Amino acid sequence: MSQEYRTKKRFGQHFLHDHGVIHKLIQYINPKNDQQIIEIGPGMGALTFPLLEHIEHIEVIEIDRDVIKHLQQLGGDRLTIHNIDALKFNLADLLKGTQKMRVVGNLPYNISTPLIFHLLTYQEHIQDMHFMLQKEVVDRITAQPGSKTFGRLSVMVQYYCNTEYLFYVGPEAFKPPPKVDSAVICLQPWQEKPYQAKDVAVFAKVVTQAFSMRRKTLRNTLKKLFTTEQIESVGINPSARAETLDVKNFVDLSNLTTLEELLAIQ
């Protein structure tokens, strides 16, 4: 079936086929039989079936019914398939007691960022996540303050997770080859966050507002939310730009206000 199947652009399908890359990824994942592993977007099973060489069972989330037939034929009862859009899937439905889930996948690049944000809402139930993503996205997620790639995505993901760039993957590792480079990332939700926002919704609004006009100073971008004195009160220079702040700085800023106060301003 793999020779006959035509990838579908609407699902952003680029199937991984490089055995060296697959082996390397599995080494990083290091799956154990007593762990609950969930794969998002298995496609033709390039990662799924090598994973099943190490574990007895795997659960996959796949939207494309055509590839599901292929997966069912080869996976049998060792594979549980959830035919649903990963962006709409309630991961908590898969919880087995207090055991945390491990999530893996070659994510469709056209939905990778919203999908990561969706998964972060379940971060307390997740042990770790290993994803193949567009390299540009991995660079942004793992970026450090002061770099050009550091932005809203960096701050939000790093608030919830320890982020680690694992390795580069070229376009030739996929069929069809994407027009972009790829990379593998590990996201490990903090067991205890280094910095705790009083209200995550406020934190997200402050971060979004701060990066809404990257070239402007915080005094200008945040003027509707905070006075110059308030910004200075948490040890931040109002003349600085958003990309120079770290996660702690954004948490400190967000803890100056409440959601009710922000909504009243707007």
The answer on 231 and 137 residing in a single domain is no
| Residues comprising the chain, all counted | 266
Distances (CA, A) of 71 to 53, 80, 247, 264: 15, 10, 41, 52
DSSP state of 174: E
| 157 within some domain | yes
State the CATH number of the domain containing residue 240: 1.10.8.100
Answer yes or no: are the C-beta atoms of 221 and 213 closer than 8 Å.
Answer: yes
Give dist(CA 106, CA 121) in Å, integer. 20
pLDDT of residue 30: 97
pLDDT of residue 198: 95
Give dist(CA 67, CA 87) in Å, integer. 18
pLDDT of residue 266: 60
Q: Using 70 as the pLDDT threshold, list the residues of the chain that sit under it.
A: 1-14, 265-266
pLDDT of residue 5: 46
Could you give the 3-state DSSP secondary structure of residue 196? coil
Domain boundary among 133, 166, 189: 189
Could you give the 3-state DSSP secondary structure of residue 47? coil
The answer on 155 and 102 residing in a single domain is yes
Q: pLDDT tens, 160-196?
A: 999 999 999 999 998 888 889 999 999 999 999 999 9
pLDDT of residue 141: 98
Answer yes or no: are the C-beta atoms of 241 and 218 closer than 8 Å.
Answer: yes
Q: What's the predicted TM-score (pTM) here? A: 0.90
pLDDT of residue 6: 52
In sequence order, which residues have a C-beta less than 8 Å from that of residue 116 and are 6 or more positions away? Answer: 107, 131, 141, 157, 187
The answer on 213 and 182 residing in a single domain is no
| 2 within some domain | no
Answer yes or no: are the C-beta atoms of 15 and 67 closer than 8 Å.
Answer: no
| 24 within some domain | yes
pLDDT of residue 175: 80
Q: Quick one: residue 18, left, alpha or beta (phi over 0 = left, psi -120 to 50 = alpha)? A: beta
Give dist(CA 230, CA 211) in Å, integer. 18
Q: pLDDT tens, 31-70?
A: 999 999 999 999 889 999 999 999 999 999 998 888 888 8
Could you give the 3-state DSSP secondary structure of residue 58? strand
What range defines the domain where residue 260 resides? 200-265
Dihedral, CA of residue 12, residue 149, residue 20 and residue 110, to nearest 10: -10
